[in-house]
Amino acid sequence: MDAHLFVIFGGSGDLAKRKLLPALAGMVRHAGDVSCHVLGVGRTPMEESEYQDLAARSVAGLMGQPEAANWAKANVHYATTDEAGSGFEGLAERIVTIEQANSLPGNRVFYLAIPPKAFEGVVEGLGSVGLNSGPGWTRLVVEKPIGHDLASAVELNTNIHKVFDESQIYRIDHYLGKETVQNLLVFRFANHLFESTWNRDRIALVEITVAEDLGVEGRAGYYDQTGALRDMIQNHLTQLMTLIAMEPPVDFSADAIRDEKVKVLRSIQAIRRDDVVFGQYGPGAVDGESVPGYLEDPDVPVDSNTPTAVVMRLRLNSWRWQGVPFYLRTGKRFPERLTQIAVTYREPPVALFGIQHRDMLKPDVLRLELQPNEGFELYFDVKVPGNRLDIVSIPFHFSYDEAFGRIPEAYETLLADIVEGDQTLFVRADEVEAAWRLYQPILDDPPRSLPYGAGEWGPDEGDALLAHAESWFMPNSRVHRPHP
């Protein structure tokens, strides 16, 4: 791993404190003898020693307070946005000073942990003083959302490309940094047992669920302009879907994998109105505690139609997946926090056990849980011991925690990839735009958001859409839940 300077715009913000600083400290510890200096750039005026104390507190849980303080004092720096003003000349001078004082070769990462409306101004400022290139390599990291719709995404990509080359740009989706998400490629393509059956001849349907038990949690002003389709479907769930549906790449290079993901997006049929259900949570109870409804938040208009839940059916025009529906489901104030992919296999063509046992038979289901209990379960039918022919579905179980212990945080993995120049887990410009193009008609003419109570799995109409697949893993079924 090359020595480098990691510049965080929004360095005093919540993302930097909770995720980026601990991830950088963890990356350095695991990488061994590597020089990584961090320059936080923020609006909050503070002395550099104050920012070092903040950084030390952020990473103390990882390395202990004394080591955290020593690390921050030796490697962490701070600049206010005033220093980055007037054409960014002050920031450019500060960067050169830090690099010369610490014998850094001029490798730089610029991480935009700032509101999306500020992206273009910072990118333009970096270019105005030549910080889009340097003595070493230069990389730009852009947090989601990449645009608010198709037009704004295209405009943002166009403006960033005026300053940075696509090979320098890392559009980050932290879901792709999860070990369990990365394992989807290995799971599919390294195990012939699954890859040989990963097609329309063997699979009946695929359901991808990202459920949150929390509400908008003080973000209502932002969320009401966003909603579940923009916040979760267009990025996180779509990324998971492309990894499940993609064809084998010609190799495991970044562009080969991203080429196949884009092909999946381009193969999806136009989404019909009856393939989409929007929901909005009302008052209810989660974990036995009463919680208010979305419209009760003072920052939400009383007539808001913003969806807090979406259930959607996608159809792919491809040789592998023709006729196999993909269901995407997400929502806030669901009964639990859960991210899973459930792959339901087709039933045998002939029932051998008689009509009286028909109700006992269940299709085989592969359930991949990405959080909170990372691992997978393969459900299959077995005979219950005894003289009677009783059949029950039993899971074969694998847990990452049991097998490997602690797995790295998603941001730690992604930041290491940025420094090493690996774009495999990052989203390319055409991929972003293809996803927005797919969902733009729904955004232009959204359906009415139907009510559901907090603590429920979305509106009844969403369950009805899933029921059309004749699946047995409905919201309250044993396969859906992490602890049957």
How far, in Å, CA of 10 to CA of 117, rounded?
A: 13
Based on the residue annotation, tell me whether 236 is a catalytic residue of this protein. yes
> Taking a C-beta distance cutoff of 8 angstroms, is the pair 334, 232 a contact?
no
Please tell me what DSSP assigns to residue 454.
Answer: T
CA 86, CA 90: separation in Å to the nearest integer?
8
From 236, 397, 468, 480, active-site residue: 236
Neighbouring C-beta atoms of residue 250, cutoff 10 Å: 11
Q: How far apart are CA 210 and CA 337, in angstroms?
A: 8
Closest CA to 31 of 292, 408, 402: 408
Q: Is 454 left (phi over 0), alpha (psi -120 to 50) or beta?
A: beta
**Identity at 329, one-letter amino acid code:** R
CA angle (440, 210, 151) in 5-degree steps = 20
Query: β-strands 203-211, 338-345: how paired?
Result: antiparallel
Q: Which residues contact 263 (CB under 8 A, 6 or more apart)?
A: 246, 247
3-state secondary structure 366-412: EEEEEECCCEEEEEEEEECCCCCCCEEEEEEEEEHHHHHCCCCCHHH
- Euclidean distance between CA atoms 112 and 118, whole angstroms: 9
Q: State the Cα torsion 271-275-281-286 to the nearest 10°.
A: -110
The sheet with strand 203-211 has its strands ordered as 391-399, 375-383, 365-371, 338-345, 203-211, 326-331, 309-314, 276-282, 449-453
User: Any idea which residues carry the catalytic annotation?
Assistant: 236
